[in-house]
Amino acid sequence: MLRLSKKADYALLAMRHLAAHSDRGAVSARELAETYDLPPELLAKVLQKLVRGQLLTSIQGIRGGYGLARPAASISVADVITAVDGPLTVTACSETNHNCDQYSKCNIRDPLWHIKDRIVSALAATSIAGLASDLAPATLAPKRAAAIPVSVQRKHDHGY
């Protein structure tokens, strides 16, 4: 099963929040941790990785916190995952690491690498702005789906 790490989950959650609330300026790690019930120590490490990956800026001081380093539309989900977890892999071997006993005889490596490339392309095509576009600020009520008119036809009772 392909699965994102907790660090990647927390990073995407934080990036989405920062994108949706970019008008507020810096948001503290503590506020993010409290808003989403995340472990503050792990979140702080994740946020620092995002700063090192040049996806976030860190603002020092009493009103300090974190903000996006560039527009949310120019940051992809793949950028975030790579910043916290490194390159996405689906096999033990890679184009540069042939450290596998089955490497020379493997008949699924190339097809799996193609699948990985498609996954990476999909993640790269999805921006943080796209993730944040439907996120209401935490203080507002969740968006409600628009009512859709439905016509109902009743079956006639034939006495069966």
Angle CA 135–139–81, to nearest 5: 35
How many C-alpha atoms does 117 have within 13 Å on its Cβ side? 8
**147 inside domain:** no
Average pLDDT over residues 41-45: 96
- 141 within domain boundaries: no
Q: What is the C-alpha separation between 39 and 49, in angstroms, rounded?
A: 16
Residue-number span of the structural domain to which 79 is assigned = 6-132
CATH number at residue 79: 1.10.10.10
Q: What is the structure's pLDDT at 135?
A: 57
Q: DSSP code of 65?
A: E
Q: What is the mean pLDDT of the chain?
A: 83
Indicate the number of domains in the chain.
1
Region 3-32: mean pLDDT is 93
Report pLDDT for 77.
96
> Domain for residue 157, yes or no?
no
Give the model confidence (pLDDT) of 98-132 as tens digits.
Answer: 777 887 788 888 898 899 999 999 999 999 999 99
Q: Which long-range contacts (CB under 8 A, 24 or more apart) does 22-27 make?
A: 22/67, 22/68, 22/72, 25/63, 25/65, 25/67, 26/59, 26/63, 26/64, 26/65, 26/66, 26/67, 27/65, 27/66, 27/67
Residue 64 has a pLDDT of: 87
